[in-house]
Chains A and B, each alone.
Chain A
Amino acid sequence: MKKILGITTLLIVVVAATAALSPNFLTAYNVQNIIRWSALFGILSVGVAFVIVTGGIDLSIGSVVGLVGCTLAMLLNPIDERPPGWAWKSVFQIQGCIAIVAAVIWGLARFYGRSRGSGRRLLWLGLAGAALFAAGRYAPGFDLPAWLHLPFVVLWVLALSLQIGLLHGLLITKIGLQPFVVTLCGLLFYRGLTRWVAADQTQGFGSGFTGLRKLATGKLPLTDDFALPVPAIALAVLAILSGVLLNKTIFGRYMLALGRNETATRYSGIDTDRYVILAYAICSLLAGIGGILFALDINSIQPSGHGNFYELYAIAAAVLGGCSLRGGEGSILGVVIGAAVMRVLYNAINVLGIPTQLEFAIIGLVILGGVIADELVKRLAAKRRAARQARDPA
């Protein structure tokens, strides 16, 4: 609880200050907007929190948001200029490649003694990849019953994001690459892939799919003049699940432990590689869910720009929310509040009429101030603790 005290105070201060300065801030419309955007970014932030807890980082989130958004739109609402089935073909081939690369990594890791997965599993993985790749060739004739189409597509793009996370985890644990490097390459690679798959054409859902789009744009009326945006519900569900996972299950405990000291955790008989991979998988999966919602919300997805910098917003929110980039520390609630602080700041700049050119400068300064304050409070607390301990030695 103490951990989120600071960030909650910051949120209240920023909200109070903005409300005092502008009557347009606390209107139902504006608040709903802030909540919706906070929820969308919050989903990404919760994802990256898992990776940060293990002492890693994921810079590819924005590109995954772009890739997932574009492929979702392309699969549901293909643009005529492309040959029929092009979207499916591309997605299958991407997934096939990922699976084959993963199999190769695993094979190498086995060869060098970093892993002991059974050979048969590896073979299946490789075969599945090849099958997916081959299936891409026949994708033009790939047609699903109408009622199955929508859920299948959504699950399929989520599977794609999950695969990406698994690949990151494998590269980091089994080959021993640095998370920064792996996900930086991911940031570039998925962006390029998105632009190629979509031929740099803006994608969208047109005026259709209104039911699906309600997931992102819908509102649940609570009172006469206030309605809760649906993404907030999505975030609440995901945050609760994540909170339980991180704090109540052994998986979460292992991630926290290995984030502090991986060696000691491995010496305690825990397969640390597995939990690192799990963290990256969760992160990319949440980026995928966020990506779907962002795409549905915006409905005009530019392959070259959609999701740019989102990873940095997510990381900033996580850090504001009490995650240490050294690993081993983090609170899901704090991260959600951190995401809200980011959006409130952004909105405050708009409603207060501050020149938008200053937007980044202000957000940067507030984050810096927040982290410095946090550090000072922590030192003070440590000092007091030391004093107390000295008074009555354990």
Chain B
Amino acid sequence: MSRAPLLEVRGVSKRFPGVLALDRVSLSLGHGEILAVIGENGAGKSTLMKVLAGVQHQDKGDVLVDGEPAAIDSVNAAYDRGIVLIHQELNLCGNLDVASNVYLGREPRRHGLIDHKTMRTQAQACIAKVGLDVKVSTLVERLPIGRQQLVEIAKALSVDARVLIMDEPTSSLSTRETETLFAVIEDLCASGVSIVYISHRLAEVKRLAHRVVVLRDGHNAGELARDEIEHDAMVRLMVGRDVSQFYARKPHEPGAVALEAEDIVVPGGAPEPISLRVHAREIVGIAGLVGAGRSELIETLFGVTPAVRGHLRVGGTDVRISSPKDAIAAGLALVPEDRKQSGLVLEMAVRENVSLPSLEREARRAFIDKRAEREVAGRMIADLGIKTRDDRQVVKDLSGGNQQKVVLAKWLALAPRVLLLDEPTRGIDIGAKHEIYALMERLAADGVAVLFISSEMEEILGISDRVLVMHEGRIAGELGRGELDEEAVMQLATGGQPART
């Protein structure tokens, strides 16, 4: 085929003050191709995508569209060439309806006023292309996140996108929503649209990508053709060394019951009561689809949304938990799902974040014990290997993995009996993930009861001693170490019966 590639990047470099974010990176994208770009956090993926989408401009190198050099110096210039970036965090106005979102900033007009009729008809056609079957007059905030994602894609298609760049599109989707998205992506490819797909989820990459480009420290680390795409090969290129297949865990002998919930009813959840037990030295995973009520359950245990009914026992004693304060007093700790929203005060220093829950305990008559604060922060930074300039660095400036470690450090300073974690490794790179697993493991070995939610099957299967699977607000079943496999978990998560043998 003599046709020039749709998009070609040749030796693009981008220097930020003092750091070379992109170092002569090259790649090409064919018509109707799905190209996955992977790499650890900080490898330069985002910068490259921003250059392509006109958000930033490269210092050196060329971007070619249809074989012609193209100066993409603004988002609109990228649009004109059919290149659209869909950000990880969706850029939609929840208070507007689907049609208005699809045509935001490009509303069809008549006599200077918005022509709602035309807009709705055209928007309906657009969303039909991505298999979205809702009314275009629906408010976006009423749609589940997976469908919002489709609205974003429809928006991109409405500007005649030829290249769709998707940054971690599945990070907040359920398995079913992910499947729908994949079907849409494959349809788009068949119709000639090319996709640049960025993901941390290697299983998805393997499933979807025609070709993989791996970036490491700002330069090309390698490329894998369709039949070479394997988990290990990708990891090897990403980290530049061999990593063991997955986390190698040692099973522990569970101790006494540390946390016991008896017939608790989650507010706004299923009417049936939930009971569960977690033992000391045990890691229990909660699997299930997004929306199965896992986060709600854990937030109820932690007192964020106190239980309507039921009893909680920690270490055998009855406790009444109606606020996080009560939960912490009882020996519980929660690493929440959204660390930026609920886990950290981003503009505060590492030290101040680490000390926040333990400040009162360390204080002398309401006066902050600054020496103890510094000491605890220093210990935690060393202990958890938090990469930070010093303990006064603002948490916002840390990488995702290090931010998550700060959240953990907050709680470890309190030595909790029960550690609750909600998607503890979301959006962090492989290296940091493994450190978090090792930490969970170490805590369990030290006698802490660990209860964690995860949407990543590898994680659920890899580190749990026991798995609870939730479906529509109920615990649909429990799987011991011996009965754990992907199929059994999915059966329960989707409402089926476990195939017992």
Contact = CB atoms under 8 A, between A and B. Distances in A.
Contacts of B19: 390-391, 393
Contacts of B17: 383, 386-387, 390-391
B432 to A, nearest CB: 14
A348 B322 CA distance: 56
B221 interface: no
Interface residues of A, number: 32
Interface stretch (A67-75, A167-175, A258-266): A258-266
Q: Which residue among A251, A267, A383, A388 has the maximum number of chain B CB atoms within 10 Å of its CB? A: A267
Contact of A267 (B342, B359, B393): B342
B325 A257 contact: no
Contact of B344 (A113, A256, A261): A261
Interface in B320-343: 322-325, 327-329, 334, 336, 341-343
A83 interface: no
Contact of B356 (A116, A257, A393): A257
A250 B368 contact: yes
A267 B340 CA distance: 12
Contacts of A271: 323, 325
Contacts of A390: 16-19
Contacts of A328: 345, 347-348
B375 interface: no
A2 interface: no
B357 A269 contact: yes
B345 A265 contact: yes
B344 A389 contact: no
A265 B360 CA distance: 13
B388 A394 contact: yes
Contacts of B352: 253, 257
A267 to B, nearest CB: 5
A195 B323 CA distance: 43
A250 to B, nearest CB: 5
A268 interface: yes
Contacts of B356: 253, 257, 265, 268, 270
B335 to A, nearest CB: 10
A253 B368 contact: yes
B313 interface: no
B386 to A, nearest CB: 9
A270 B325 contact: yes
Given A249-B366, A253-B352, A394-B393, A263 B359 contact: no
Nearest to A328: B347
A120 interface: no
Nearest to B399: A394
Contacts of A386: 16-17
A248 interface: yes
Interface in B347-370: 347-348, 352, 356-357, 359-360, 363, 366-368
A389 B368 CA distance: 30
Nearest to B410: A268
A180 B16 CA distance: 42
Nearest to A251: B366
Given A268-B410, A390-B17, A260 B345 contact: yes
Interface residues of B, number: 40
A264 B389 contact: no
Contacts of B397: 389, 394
B345 A264 contact: yes
Contacts of B345: 257, 260-261, 264-265, 328
Contacts of B328: 268-269
Contacts of A261: 341, 344-346
B186 to A, nearest CB: 39
B347 A264 contact: no
Contact of A387 (B18, B306, B341, B357): B18
Given A253-B352, A261-B345, A267 B304 contact: yes
Interface in A271-291: 271
A186 B149 CA distance: 44
B295 to A, nearest CB: 13
Given A249-B368, A257-B345, A266-B324, A113 B18 contact: no
B50 interface: no
B12 to A, nearest CB: 18
Interface in A93-119: 113, 116
A389 B327 contact: no
Given A257-B356, A260-B345, A267-B343, A391 B18 contact: yes
B201 interface: no
Contacts of A256: 348
A271 B18 CA distance: 43
B81 interface: no
Contacts of B344: 261, 264
A269 B327 contact: yes
A392 B357 CA distance: 31
B292 to A, nearest CB: 22
Nearest to B16: A390
B18 A260 contact: no
Nearest to B326: A269
A97 to B, nearest CB: 30
B433 interface: no
B387 interface: yes
Given A248-B368, A251-B366, A394-B387, A264 B343 contact: yes
28 contacts: A113-B306, A116-B322, A249-B366, A249-B368, A250-B359, A250-B366, A250-B367, A253-B356, A260-B346, A261-B344, A264-B342, A264-B344, A264-B345, A265-B345, A266-B304, A267-B304, A267-B324, A267-B342, A268-B328, A269-B325, A270-B356, A387-B18, A389-B389, A389-B397, A390-B16, A391-B17, A391-B18, A394-B389
Interface of B: 16-19, 302, 304, 306, 322-325, 327-329, 334, 336, 341-348, 352, 356-357, 359-360, 363, 366-368, 387-389, 393, 397-398, 410
Interface of A: 113, 116, 248-251, 253-254, 256-257, 260-261, 263-271, 328, 383, 386-394
